[in-house]
């Protein structure tokens, strides 16, 4: 069985520009399946009519035979898998048939009480009612039980197909071909090239000899010439003009707005020449002089152009010529120029491989010819990949300035660079030994992955610039939490793209999305990630409403009441606790999560809390008591455990006290509830402060008394009635 590299490598090479498109496409497929499930759920009767179980059994038997047949093609198995997946989706929906009625029946049976033990009896009317309800329950359960059984069989068939396809793909990668360095195989390859050249020339001569096609060429000559002129200008001059303009923008300084403008301008380096490539491909197809082979080559010119220009754009953005341009790499001007050249060379090599497979289809050539003709691009790509890997590794290992640590991006670059060097050595060696498909299967995906990593870094820089421009803070914007989270989301979203690049089938990804959508069974409850998403959204909304309510109370409502500041803070904190608790309950109920089965776990957890977390629980309860009884409030001057100061905040676990020397002391709430606390200002703002002052022996006591009296009376907060007193005590 031959391995179709065209379906696994060629189109994947120009996925660098289609990250969002593929991700949205996969999401769209999942959304479509979800919409199908929603439509089926709305009409249970329609589901029961649509599920023809005898037809399913016949179809499943045929599927078993096709899966067992070793000559079944990959295309046939993929189509079969798609049909089985449609059946499986219907069976999943059918598992919820009569769900509401079944819940009602179970509640009715439970209301009758437990079944009497052996030898016991119950009233005849209750026993008859129990039997009738159980019979109804059995009848209503039958459709869902049948759906569960059919779902299990469909799921098993899908797993068998996936396993078969993966085994075939592995066998194709490990297939030993005639060695491409054996001169005995070169004449066969040359013969295949000459045969394709002859086929292409015969197509052109045959069409030129056709009078009607020549006339059609003359009729369409004006638009063809216009398209060719447009293509020549956009490819040869348009890209260069835009690239020069972007470089001039970079050389005039850096700012977030300028970087966003540079990025938007740089996209023209891909869009403008690609318009020219499309125009050129359209022109030569419009001429009518090409046959089937020529039209395939003309169509693949678009993929060739996209690979080449996207690679050049990624290289220009990742290794900018302007030294002031932001980049994750520490490179000099010469190193950046070399890295740009290597990125362009890799893109050109991959583009040539695409055209080679269009001009020399693998299915129409012997194995020896495929091996010889595939080897040069593997060898060239490996050479350029090795050079670029060494350059990146040198940049990542460059000595850091003193006092700074190695950044996360530098670690990622170092890992990617080492992987590129290893692949650049192993891939050509495998191809030289005859494992051509294995060499292709690691070299070309490694190059594509390297480009995708570069694209992720470019987008990370763009997100940082946009956020910094929004908050108008260049220094803090790039390292803020929001750009980091967006970058993490971009990296996570690119996971399906990496999987496709390295040989995963689209069906593998849709299967993952299906499993995530369908969820997993825990007891009698099926939990899916969508439930957790709904839980998070509802809880987030409840949390936001709680915070808004707290803000309104604190800023608008409570200041107009007669409550003191401590009481206002207590009410605001209590509203926060209650709001978060209600948000949690509402979100769990909205997600449909049944937590009754977690009662045993909760009981065991309570034992752990009682022993291991008793101090934390004690402080939490004490914090609630402090907020309700308010023996201590924010702003009070208190003394506890020998610490005297002003209460600054009361949280759930502890209270923060600021002493006279401006140090913060964190006191557990349990000490304030169970210990002895002196509150100097809770109910009376007047108090006595005794300050002991020592003076030297032989000092004039009258003079000391007069000075201290003047100092005390000069304090603006000192009470004059009764006046301060100075007493000689020792």
DSSP track, 537-571: HHHHHHHHHHHHHHHHIIIIIGGGSS--HHHHHHH
Specify the pLDDT at position 1: 31
User: 379 is written with which tokens?
Assistant: 């060898």
Q: Which residue has the tokens 């020069």?
A: 244
Alpha helices in 174-238 (DSSP H): 186-209, 211-219, 221-233
Of 465, 463, 468, the closest CA to residue 489 belongs to: 463
Enumerate residue ranges in the chain where pLDDT < 70.
1-50, 119, 246-256, 322-328, 398-408, 473-479, 518-527, 564-566, 592-614
Per DSSP, the chain holds a count of helices (H) and strands (E) of 28, 7
Specify the pLDDT at position 608: 64
What is the C-alpha separation between 662 and 665, in angstroms, rounded? 10
User: 484 is written with which tokens?
Assistant: 């980091």
Instruction: Report CA dihedral (341, 345, 260, 232) to the nearest 10 degrees.
Output: 110
What is the C-alpha separation between 40 and 243, in angstroms, rounded? 53
Specify the pLDDT at position 34: 39
Strand partners, 182: none
- CB of 549 closer than 8 Å to CB of 579: yes
User: Which CA distances in Å does 24 have to 10, 30, 278, 494, 535?
Assistant: 21, 10, 24, 11, 23
668: phi then psi, degrees, rounded to nearest 5: -60, 145
- CB of 545 closer than 8 Å to CB of 579: yes
What is the C-alpha separation between 201 and 75, in angstroms, rounded? 32
Burial (CB count within 10 angstroms: exposed 0-12, middle 13-18, buried 19+), residue 577: middle
Burial (CB count within 10 angstroms: exposed 0-12, middle 13-18, buried 19+), residue 524: exposed
Cα dihedral across residues 336, 338, 343, 347: positive or negative: positive
Q: Per-residue DSSP letters for 144-158?
A: HHHHHHHHHHHHHHH
Q: Which residue has the tokens 């606790």?
A: 577
Identify the H or E element spanning 167.
Answer: helix 124-173
What is the C-alpha separation between 180 and 422, in angstroms, rounded? 21
Of 712, 710, 705, the closest CA to residue 727 belongs to: 705
Specify the pLDDT at position 246: 66
User: Which CA distances in Å does 473 have to 174, 254, 260, 468?
Assistant: 54, 14, 15, 5
Q: Per-residue DSSP letters for 640-657?
A: ETTEEEEEEEE-SSEEEE
What is the C-alpha separation between 418 and 390, in angstroms, rounded? 8
pTM: 0.67
Q: Is 98 left (phi over 0), alpha (psi -120 to 50) or beta?
A: left
Specify the pLDDT at position 380: 95
594: phi then psi, degrees, rounded to nearest 5: -95, 110
Identify the H or E element spanning 667.
Answer: strand 664-668
**664-668/654-658 β-pairing:** antiparallel
- CB of 348 closer than 8 Å to CB of 311: yes
Specify the pLDDT at position 5: 36
Specify the pLDDT at position 548: 86
**643-650/677-679 β-pairing:** unpaired
Instruction: Give the count of alpha carbons within 13 A of 617, CB side only.
Output: 10
User: Which CA distances in Å does 596 have to 4, 107, 526, 583?
Assistant: 53, 15, 14, 19
Of 291, 296, 294, 293, the closest CA to residue 207 belongs to: 291
User: Which CA distances in Å does 707 have to 43, 695, 720?
Assistant: 94, 12, 17
Cα dihedral across residues 171, 174, 180, 184: positive or negative: negative
- CB of 483 closer than 8 Å to CB of 469: no
- CB of 454 closer than 8 Å to CB of 412: no
Specify the pLDDT at position 446: 93
Specify the pLDDT at position 52: 84
Please list the helix, strand and coil fractions of the chain in percent, rounded to the nearest 5, in that order: 75, 5, 20
């Amino acid at each position: 069985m031959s391995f179709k590299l065209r379906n696994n490598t060629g189109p994947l090479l120009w996925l660098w520009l289609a990250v969002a498109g593929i991700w949205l496409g996969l999401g769209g497929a999942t959304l479509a399946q979800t919409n199908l499930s929603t439509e089926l759920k709305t009409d249970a009767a329609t589901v029961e009519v649509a599920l023809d179980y005898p037809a399913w059994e016949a179809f499943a038997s045929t599927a078993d035979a096709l899966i067992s047949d070793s000559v079944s093609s990959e295309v046939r198995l993929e189509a079969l898998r798609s049909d089985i997946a449609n059946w499986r989706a219907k069976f999943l929906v059918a598992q919820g048939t009569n769900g509401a009625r079944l819940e009602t029946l179970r509640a009715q049976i439970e209301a009758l009480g437990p079944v009497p033990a052996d030898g016991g009896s119950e009233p005849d009317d209750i026993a008859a009612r129990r039997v009738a309800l159980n019979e109804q329950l059995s009848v209503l359960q039958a459709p869902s039980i049948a759906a569960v059984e059919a779902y299990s069989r469909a799921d098993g068939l899908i797993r068998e197909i996936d396993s078969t396809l993966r085994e075939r793909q592995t066998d194709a990668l490990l297939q030993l071909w005639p060695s491409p360095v054996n001169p005995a195989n070169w004449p066969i390859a040359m013969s295949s090239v000459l045969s394709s050249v002859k086929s292409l020339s015969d197509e052109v001569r045959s069409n030129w000899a056709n009078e009607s096609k020549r006339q059609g060429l003359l009729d369409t000559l004006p638009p063809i010439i216009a398209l060719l002129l447009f293509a020549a200008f956009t490819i040869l001059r348009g890209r260069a003009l835009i690239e020069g303009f972007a470089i001039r923008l970079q050389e005039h300084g850096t700012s977030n707005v300028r970087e966003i403008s540079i990025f938007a301008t740089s996209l023209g380096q891909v869009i403008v020449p690609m318009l020219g490539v499309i125009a050129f491909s359209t022109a030569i197809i419009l001429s009518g002089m090409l046959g089937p082979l020529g039209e395939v080559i003309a169509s693949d010119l678009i993929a060739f152009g996209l690979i080449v220009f996207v690679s050049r754009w990624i290289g220009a953005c990742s290794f900018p010529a302007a030294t002031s341009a932001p980049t994750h790499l520490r490179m000099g001007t010469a190193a950046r120029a070399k890295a740009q050249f290597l990125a362009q060379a890799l893109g050109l090599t991959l583009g040539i491989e695409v055209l080679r497979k269009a001009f020399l289809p693998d299915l129409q050539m012997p194995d020896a010819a495929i091996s010889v003709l595939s080897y040069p691009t593997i060898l060239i790509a490996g050479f350029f990949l090795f050079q670029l890997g060494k350059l990146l590794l040198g940049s990542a290992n460059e000595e850091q300035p003193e006092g700074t640590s190695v950044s996360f991006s530098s670690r990622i670059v170092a890992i990617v660079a080492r992987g590129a060097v290893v692949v650049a050595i192993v891939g050509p060696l495998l191809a030289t030994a005859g494992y051509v498909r294995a060499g292709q299967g690691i070299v070309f995906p490694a190059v594509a992955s390297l480009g995708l990593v570069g694209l992720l870094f470019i987008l990370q820089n763009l997100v940082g610039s946009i956020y910094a421009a929004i908050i108008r803070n260049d220094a803090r914007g790039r390292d803020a939490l929001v750009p980091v989270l967006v970058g993490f989301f971009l990296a996570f979203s690119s996971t399906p793209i990496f999987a496709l690049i390295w040989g995963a089938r689209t069906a593998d990804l849709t299967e993952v999305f299906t499993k995530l959508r369908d969820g997993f069974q825990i007891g009698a409850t099926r939990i899916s990630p969508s439930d957790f998403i709904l839980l998070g959204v509802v809880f987030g909304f409840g949390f936001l409403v709680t915070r808004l309510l707290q803000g309104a109370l604190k800023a608008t409502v409570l200041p107009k009441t007669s409550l003191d500041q401590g009481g206002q803070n207590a009410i605001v904190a209590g509203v926060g606790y209650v709001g978060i608790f209600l948000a949690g309950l509402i979100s769990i109920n909205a997600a449909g999560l049944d937590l009754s089965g977690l009662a045993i776990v909760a009981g065991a957890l309570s034992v752990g809390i009682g022993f291991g977390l008793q101090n934390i629980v004690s402080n939490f309860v004490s914090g609630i008591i402090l907020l309700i009884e308010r023996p201590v409030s924010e702003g009070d001057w208190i003394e506890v455990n020998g610490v005297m100061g002003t209460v600054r905040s009361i949280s759930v676990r502890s209270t923060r006290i600021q002493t006279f020397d401006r140090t913060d002391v964190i006191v557990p709430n349990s000490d304030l509830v169970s210990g002895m606390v002196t509150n100097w200002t809770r109910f009376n703002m007047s108090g006595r402060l005794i300050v002991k002052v020592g003076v030297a022996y032989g000092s004039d006591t009258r003079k000391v008394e007069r000075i201290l009296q003047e100092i005390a009376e000069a304090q603006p907060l000192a009470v004059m009635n009764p006046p301060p007193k100075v007493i000689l005590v020792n």
